[in-house]
Amino acid sequence: MSVLNLSKWNIAIGDGQPLFCIAGLNVLEDRDLAFETARHLKAVMEKLELPFVFKASFDKANRSSIKSYRGPGLEKGLAILAEVKEKFDLPIATDIHDETQAEAVAEVADLVQIPAFLCRQTDLVVAAARATHKAGGLLHVKKGQFLAPWDCRNIVSKIKEAAGADLTILCERGSSFGYNNLVVDMLAFAEMKKLGVPVTIDATHAVQLPGADPRTGGASTGGRRDGVPIIAKAAVAAGADGVFLEFHPEPDKALCDPLSCLPLAGAEELFASLKAIRAAAV
């Protein structure tokens, strides 16, 4: 049995626990949008009695084009996230891209996230693990699109050795399937849970079509928004302990991955379905 706790927030994730929900924006666009999204999602989660961590990235460091919007950056972005944390009394999740960011990010984020492309970067993983453990948080590591589920054992062991504690939540976000496509293997959840860690599904990024946005001729990533609820529901039924979902009040106007994020107005209906599936699956 594997259960981890965000003790400061009285939130647990793992076997036998309620569905763990990481939700918010793909990237911070401005303070008002962050507040609007956090306010709406908090109301939904309180109504459904689901544990909730608000997520938004301060920087999207792996955009397809150098001209793509990346976010407000470390200093301004963490300041906005700190405001959200204080105003709405919510734990925060955000990405880290460089080991020099570890201390600053861990001071604000209760759930520090390692992007999929960076999950094997030892210096980054070690720095994030040490800073996160010191701050009392957890580490959410996305499995690289190039990794087999069982190969995540090396990530888990690095973190435990670096931090001296179990901090790892693994996240499935699809595997490369030929060119410009991802698929989610539903057997992966059981395989990763054999490593003794909780596992989540990033259904938003699992529907990406890398480098295949028809609107930009390959200068950005495409997506299949209608597939997000399908993958999320299937993953929870297959044993995922939590879900990672990104929303926007007007998805088509989102400044990053608009074809993959969901309309904020539909959050309650989807999370209610996922809660029911979790209850039936455990």
Cβ-Cβ contacts under 8 Å for 32 (sequence gap 6 or more): none
Q: What's the one-letter identity of residue 255?
A: L
- End-to-end alpha-carbon separation of the chain, Å? 12
Residue 70: CB atoms within 10 A of its CB come to: 18
pLDDT given for residue 211 in this prediction: 63
For strands 208-209 and 182-183, give the pairing.
unpaired
The CATH number covering residue 71 comes to 3.20.20.70
25: left (phi over 0), alpha (psi -120 to 50) or beta: beta
One DSSP character per residue, the chain reads: --EEEEGGGTEEEETTSPPEEEEEEEE---HHHHHHHHHHHHHHHHHHT--EEEEEES--TT-SSTTS---S-HHHHHHHHHHHHHHHT--EEEE--SGGGHHHHHHH-SEEEE-GGGTT-HHHHHHHHHHHHHHT-EEEEEPPTT--GGGGHHHHHHHHHHHSS--EEEEE--EE-SSS-EE--TTHHHHHHTTTS-EEEEHHHHTEETT--TTTTTSS-EE-TTHHHHHHHHHHHTT-SEEEEEEESSGGG-SS-TTTPEEGGGHHHHHHHHHHHHHHH-
Q: What is the pTM of this model?
A: 0.94
Run means of pLDDT, 10 residues per run, the chain, 282 residues = 90 96 96 98 98 95 71 94 98 97 98 96 97 97 96 97 96 92 95 97 88 57 87 98 97 88 97 97 84
Q: Which two tokens stand for residue 134?
A: 């010191």
The residues assigned a catalytic role are 26, 60, 257
Evaluate whether 189 touches 235 at the Cβ level (below 8 Å).
Answer: yes
Provide the CA 176 distance to its chain's centre, in angstroms.
18
Helices 267-281 & 31-48 angle (0-180, nearest 10): 40
Q: Which two tokens stand for residue 75?
A: 């200093």
Which residue range forms the structural domain that includes residue 102? 3-281
| Cα 187 from Cα 207, distance rounded (Å) | 17
pLDDT given for residue 42 in this prediction: 98
Number of compact structural domains in the chain: 1
